[in-house]
């Protein structure tokens, strides 16, 4: 048996607070309250433990990580422990002063998210007036600081026709990497799926646009492309496989194999408040349960892609089939694949009304 490797990356969800209200957010519907967040000392201890067990990268995310007043201190501590530091941000709080402090702290990379290529549409989705202009300013600050920039554009049925404009905007911002990512349907995005899931025609349009841009920008800009699982023939290797490459820490300190894992019933996820990262990674039932291939149903265990997609996404299997241990319905071979095609059909012509993300959650 291959020895268990340490996680490559730590995803530090510092807070669920965010100035934006994106209806495609993958945060849980019931988000952690500010008073329940880990303290600065908690996070410093987690970063120390991450370095000690061999983690290479730390990704500060949220919510909006820049809503935490101690972000600069955390970045500096991670850098001092030789961890590669990345911030995943909306950019609306990235002022000149904040950029200067992050540079001194030793930040390595910033990933900047965009809701659209056009301000009115972006601000409608994000629910933040003036937000698009602040994002453009943030991109300028990142590039002037000499940092690598990844521009992330989230696609759905209400903006897919502007994918060429998004790629052009990424070029104008001098991004080294442009991520064209179709919405992944967890949390708020799952709640709003009918208003967000694109049609086959829209998907084909985006496929062509991305292929053309990749050819045109080859050697100059990397374009990452994430397709919606609902139109894929095979499932994605979610997070590189359950508890294989990443460990995700929620704002309140729960250790998760992926950011959406709290939706799974029958799990007790350990907390970094009282359990070390090493014990969580090596011994926790929550991390062991779907790691590897032994847990897989026969269909997956006998598939030649079992160590490529690792059975797909457990949270998606639960959300669609009601069984977290089932073959991911995104797989064309799944006995539940009809649930995916039915969901796509239900989104055709559905109302475009969206339920905005709210920190206090959603009640039906």
pLDDT one-digit tens code per residue, 275-316: 999 999 999 999 999 999 999 999 999 999 999 999 999 999
Structure tokens, 319: 């959300």
Is it the case that residue 363 has pLDDT exceeding 70?
Answer: no
Contact (Cβ atoms closer than 8 angstroms) between residue 62 and residue 15:
yes
Q: Is the peptide bond before 97 cis (omega within 30 degrees of 0)?
A: no
Position 364 scores a pLDDT of 46
- The residue among 64, 59, 9 whose CA lies nearest residue 37 is 64
pLDDT, position 228: 86
How does pLDDT run across 106-121, given as a tens digit for each residue?
999 999 999 999 999 9
Residue 98: alpha-carbon gap to chain centroid: 23
Averaged pLDDT, 232-254:
91
> pLDDT tens, 40-54?
999 999 999 999 999
Q: Residue 274: pLDDT above 60?
A: yes
Dihedral sign computed on CA atoms, order 36, 37, 39, 44:
positive
The whole-angstrom separation of Cα 239 and Cα 59 is 13
Q: What is the pLDDT of residue 361?
A: 64
Q: Based on C-alpha coordinates, what's the Rg of the chain?
A: 20
Is omega for the bond preceding 181 within 30 degrees of 0, making it cis?
A: no
The neighbouring-strand residues paired with 271 are 254
Question: 310, 294 in Cβ contact below 8 A?
Answer: no
Integer Cα distance of 111 and 114 in angstroms: 10
Quickly count: other Cβ atoms within 10 Å of residue 289's Cβ: 17
């Amino acid at each position: 048996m291959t020895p268990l490797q340490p996680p490559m990356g730590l995803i530090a969800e510092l807070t669920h607070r965010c100035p934006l209200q994106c209806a495609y957010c993958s945060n849980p519907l019931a988000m952690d309250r500010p008073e329940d967040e880990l303290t600065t000392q908690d996070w410093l201890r987690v970063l120390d433990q991450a370095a000690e067990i061999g983690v290479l990268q730390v990704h500060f995310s949220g919510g909006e990580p820049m809503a935490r007043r101690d972000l600069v201190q955390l970045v500096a501590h991670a850098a001092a422990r030789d961890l590669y530091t990345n911030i995943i941000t909306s950019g609306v709080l990235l002022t000149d002063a904040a950029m200067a402090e992050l540079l001194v702290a030793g930040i390595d990379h910033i990933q900047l998210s965009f809701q659209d290529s056009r301000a009115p549409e972006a601000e409608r989705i994000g629910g933040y007036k003036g937000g698009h202009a602040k994002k453009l300013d943030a991109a300028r600050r990142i590039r002037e600081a000499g940092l690598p920039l990844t521009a992330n554009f989230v696609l759905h049925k209400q903006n897919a026709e502007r994918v060429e404009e998004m790629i052009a905007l990424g070029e104008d911002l001098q991004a080294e990497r442009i991520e064209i990512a179709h919405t992944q349907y967890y949390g708020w995005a799952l709640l709003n799926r009918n208003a967000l899931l694109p049609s086959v025609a829209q998907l084909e349009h985006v496929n062509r646009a991305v292929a053309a841009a990749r050819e045109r920008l080859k050697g100059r800009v990397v374009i990452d492309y994430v397709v919606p699982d609902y139109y894929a023939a095979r499932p994605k290797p979610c997070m590189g496989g359950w508890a294989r490459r990443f460990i995700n820490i929620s704002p309140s300190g729960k250790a998760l194999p992926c950011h959406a894992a709290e939706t799974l019933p029958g799990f007790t996820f350990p907390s970094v408040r009282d359990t070390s990262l090493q014990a969580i990674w090596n011994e926790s039932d929550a991390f062991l349960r779907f790691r590897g291939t032994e847990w897989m149903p026969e269909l997956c265990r006998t598939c030649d892609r079992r160590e490529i997609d690792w059975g797909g996404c457990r949270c998606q299997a639960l959300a669609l089939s009601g069984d977290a241990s089932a073959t991911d319905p995104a797989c064309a071979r799944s006995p539940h694949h009809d649930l995916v095609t039915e969901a796509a059909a239900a989104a055709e012509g559905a109302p475009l009304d969206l339920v905005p993300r709210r920190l206090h959650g959603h009640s039906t």
